[in-house]
Amino acid sequence: MKIAFYGTKPYDKIWFEPMGKDYGFDIHFIELPCNEDTIFLANGYDAICIFVNDYVNAAMIDKLYDMKVKAILLRSAGFNNVDIKAAENKLVILRVPSYSPEAVAEFAMALLLTVNRFTHRAYNRTREFNMSLNGLMGTDLNQKVAGIIGTGKIGQAMIRICKGFGMQILAYDPYPNKELDVKYVSIDELVKKADVISLHCPLTPETEHIINKDTITLMKQGVYLINTSRGRLIDTEAVIDGLREGKFGGVGLDVYEEEEGLFFEDRSNDIITDDNLARLMTFPNVLVTSHMGFFTQEAMQAIAIETLENAYALENGLPLVNQVGTDGAH
């Protein structure tokens, strides 16, 4: 199998290059992202492999089909960046449903601890021997209410971590897991009662902007908001309005709704024209990181193994357990 591997970074090759050879695959690493301008590079390949900020729309699906590309291998759990309906009966779409839920959940807690206790600001201060504590006061997490939106594997990992901190848990998920020892409530009740809100749900038409002007209005004063899932779960302008009004104790964002072309890249010498992102950076109680919640050795290795196992199953006619269809993930 010949695979066009889009959006290659040096750390991708650490696992995919040797593993690809072990599987007998011919992987061509492309540094460019997958989009309408680069899709022609897939000509002559059996499959393409893409990441979260690549996209494949209906027009690109048709081009891939004409080029006799058989599959799109997603090296991620989410699949909102592919037109699933357009791919039906044309291309097989395979994802990595679970690599290291703990990696993302642990990072979500790291964001919460940082914006709550201002460790990022303390680090900068003490490097200049400014030992003042003014402006660095946080709050105890013990006995606070954690509102977990989405109780899949990552959400469950976050629940375990929050329980370890002695937090009370409220959960929202349209498909409750009856085996979980948590109290499920409506989204309105969750945002009203939670001291901390952490997002762990996929991006769907139903969840897009689940955090918006109305839900923010319902939230407690001083609430903490953490997002390590997908940027468009949050209406950025509504969050900025809330920050301006002093609604949030802190906001930790590892994702951003307009992150394409920014995250995963070094733009330190560029003028950033995204006014909302620039505005977020000005708030002292906001921490933005560059979609790195998944980025551990264990997770990267698991992603490589699962992605190549998906390709192996396709090539050898084995059951495609990670195939995505128009009704969602199988």
Rounded to whole angstroms, the Cα distance separating 193 from 191 reads 6
Annotated catalytic residue, options 232, 257, 291, 306: 291
- Catalytic status, residue 230: yes
- Catalytic status, residue 28: no
- One-letter amino acid at 213 equals K
Annotated catalytic residue, options 95, 230, 232, 257: 230
The Cβ of residue 183 has, within 10 Å, a number of other Cβ atoms equal to: 11
Q: Which of 67, 121, 110, 112 is nearest to 90 (CA)?
A: 67
- One-letter amino acid at 247 equals K
- Ramachandran angles phi, psi of 21, nearest 5°: -65, -40
All residues at 6 or more sequence positions from 109 whose CB lies less than 8 Å from its CB, including other chains: 158, 161, 162, 165
CB 74 within 8 A of CB 306: no
CB 80 within 8 A of CB 276: no
| Strand duo 328-329 + 324-325: pairing | antiparallel
- Catalytic status, residue 244: no
CB 36 within 8 A of CB 58: no
- One-letter amino acid at 173 equals D
Which residues form the catalytic set? 230, 259, 291
